[in-house]
Structure 1
Amino acid sequence: MKTGLIILAAGSSSRLGRPKQLLEFQGKKLIQRAIEKAQKSSSESCVVVLGWNPELIKTGFDSETVSYVINENWEQGMASSMQTGLRFLIKKDGINQVILMLCDQPFVNHQLLDNLIIEKESSGKGIVASFYSGTLGVPAIFDQKYFQDLLNLKGSEGAKKVILENSEDTIPLNFPLGALDIDTEEDFRRLEKI
């Protein structure tokens, strides 16, 4: 199986009031941390999806060596950004499965990403999704049989819709720290205390 990985980093961080992609945590910008974790994982290819102010966000990582794609329609919601990344990886690398992750979940590490791949292989299921705060979400891995479902999502619909619609073909992977993502200054202050 050829695994692709999409890092979603296209949003404008409107609730935070400054670009969350460039926030520093443990000496590294969130976008750079996400890229490093993805690169350490056993996925074969990775793409960062940019949208809002891409030239500014590119200052947070080495855009000469890291694949990125710009979603011109990022304001339409998360679905279009995920689809931009998925189309890029299908065309460029002919992937059979894809991991979706956000750049603002600072506790995602390469072991978690690898565990998604391992669980999918050993379970024979089509989806493995992170489990936190009583629900399933990303990071999650999807078999190519779900690519069309992902490409059919609209507006603010996220991958969670595909996960919930196919619960019988989904395995949960415990990731309690997945609950911590950065949407507000309060979230970031809580993260700094940890």
Structure 2
Amino acid sequence: MNELTGIVVLAAGSSSRLGQPKQLLWYKNTSLLKNTIFQASQIPNTTIIVVTGSNHELIQKEIIGPKIKTIFNSDWELGMSSSIVKGLKELLGLNPDIKKVILAVCDQPYLTSIVFENLISEHQKTQKGIVACTYSETLGTPVLFAKKYFNELLQLKGQEGAKKIINRFLEDTIAVPFEKGNIDIDTIEDYNELIS
């Protein structure tokens, strides 16, 4: 039987370089955030938590679906680590026995459900504790962490992201390719290039 997978979507940042909430940018008839949630929702046996922060009210309106739980991170200005910690704590509060979590961001326009499926199947096949996406010669999000790394995640501080843990435990990490995973939206130029 397929065990439950937690998916935490990190959507708390202020998109300061962009000047508007990147979560709400429109691409292919949907917003970047809605696409991330939709793709995650295609995976059976998941529980999905969206962590909001800056622009909470606007972003909250984008989150639809009975399966989706939203949590507001009042410490979002402290950096991505605070959202990872908040999302994982919420997940464990709802599902204390959960064995794995996938961390995803909402500014990868080419994210599909296949990426999530590949992370889960690779974890099941190899039993590696960390399964990360690979693109542009780096390892990054979405990334799956087995339960044994939950404490490491809960101890992240400031601007630290999941990459710190991936780099520390490379011998227990396996990569799955995510074509165009390197394309994310940080500036208006990035967005204009995406939609042109």
Q: TM-score range by the shorter chain?
A: over 0.9
In the alignment, which residue of structure 2 is the partner of 1:141?
144
For residue 165 of structure 2, the aligned residue among 145, 162, 165 is 162
Q: Is the 8 A contact 1:133 1:176 kept in 2?
A: no
Structure 2 residue runs of 5 or longer lacking an equivalent are none
In the alignment, which residue of structure 1 is the partner of 2:72?
70
Closer, same or farther: CA 43–138 of 1 in aligned 2, 3 Å: farther
Report the Cα distance in structure 2 between the residues aligned to 1:121 and 1:59, rounded to whole angstroms. 35
Q: How many residues align?
A: 193
Report the Cα distance in structure 2 between the residues aligned to 1:126 and 1:107, rounded to whole angstroms. 25
Q: TM-score, normalised by structure 1?
A: 0.96
Q: Is the 8 A contact 1:136 1:172 kept in 2?
A: yes
What do the CA deviations read for 1:60-103 (whole angstroms, capped 9, x no partner)?
A: 23277621000000000000001100000111023110000001
Q: TM-score, normalised by structure 2?
A: 0.95
In the alignment, which residue of structure 2 is the partner of 1:105?
108
Q: Per the alignment, in what secondary structure is the counterpart of residue 100 of structure 1?
A: strand
Report the Cα distance in structure 1 between the residues aligned to 2:133 and 2:88, rounded to whole angstroms. 19
Matched ranges for 1:33-182 at <5 A: 33-62=35-64, 66-94=68-96, 95-182=98-185
Structure 1 residue runs of 5 or longer lacking an equivalent are none
Offset of 1:44 from its aligned partner? Answer: 1.6
Aligned Cα root-mean-square deviation (Å): 1.2
What do the CA deviations read for 1:122-178 (whole angstroms, capped 9, x no partner)?
A: 011101000011110110100000000001111000000000100000001111311
Q: Is the 8 A contact 2:23 2:106 kept in 1?
A: yes
Q: Alignment identity in percent?
A: 46
Q: Per the alignment, in what secondary structure is the counterpart of residue 85 of structure 2?
A: helix
Q: Is the 8 A contact 2:48 2:67 kept in 1?
A: no
Report the Cα distance in structure 2 between the residues aligned to 1:60 and 1:168, rounded to whole angstroms. 39
* One-letter code aligned to 2:105: L
Q: Per the alignment, in what secondary structure is the counterpart of residue 176 of structure 1?
A: coil
Comparing both structures, which one devotes a greater share of its residues to helix?
1
Report the Cα distance in structure 2 between the residues aligned to 1:167 and 1:185, rounded to whole angstroms. 34
For residue 17 of structure 1, the aligned residue among 13, 16, 19 is 19
Report the Cα distance in structure 2 between the residues aligned to 1:73 and 1:177, rounded to whole angstroms. 31
Report the Cα distance in structure 1 between the residues aligned to 2:165 and 2:44, rounded to whole angstroms. 24
For residue 32 of structure 2, the aligned residue among 30, 33, 40 is 30
* One-letter code aligned to 2:40: A
Offset of 1:58 from its aligned partner? Answer: 1.3
Deviates more, 1:146-155 or 1:41-50: 41-50
Q: Is the 8 A contact 2:110 2:181 kept in 1?
A: yes
Q: Per the alignment, in what secondary structure is the counterpart of residue 87 of structure 1?
A: helix
Q: Is the 8 A contact 2:47 2:68 kept in 1?
A: no
* One-letter code aligned to 2:83: S
